[in-house]
Amino acid sequence: MLVRHWIASSLAGGDPTVARAAEAAGMSVRTLQRRLMDFGLTYRQLLDEVRLEMACGLMERSEANLAETAVALGYSDPAHFTRAFERWTGEAPSAFRHRIRQAHRRGP
């Protein structure tokens, strides 16, 4: 989905709004919202999905600290990222990173 790709490439530049996403896709906000609803999504849900995927990847594959990860995902404050991550996963980013690293040490 092109909007997913646009969101991922736009995160570090700030919060990609639905209006900017619609403009990049060459359609009105309402048309974009209707097309997303065809997939059972809202723009906010899609944005959260992309951020979660990127957050998990960054924490698993890089040594970026929490503040760097938050900025890469378009958050102005690491606390906002932490709250969002806890809402998405039920655990703190630091706990997630620790759990993933422990699993990698143990192997398959």
What the chain holds in terms of domains, given with CATH numbers, is 2-106 (1.10.10.60)
Please identify which residue in the block is written with the tokens 């700030």: 14
> 25 or 14: which carries more pLDDT confidence?
25
**Confidence at 107, pLDDT banded by 50, 70, 90:** low
Distance CA 32, CA 93 (A): 31
Q: In 3-state terms, what secondary structure has residue 79? A: helix
Q: How many residues does the chain have?
A: 108
pTM greater than the 0.85 cutoff? yes
pLDDT in tens, 33-62: 999 999 999 999 999 999 999 999 999 888
pLDDT at residue 2 greater than cutoff 80? yes
Long-range contacts made by residues 81-88, C-beta under 8 angstroms, separation at least 24?
81/55, 84/48, 84/51, 85/52, 85/55, 88/48, 88/52
- Report pLDDT for 15: 72
* Mean pLDDT of the region 8-29: 91
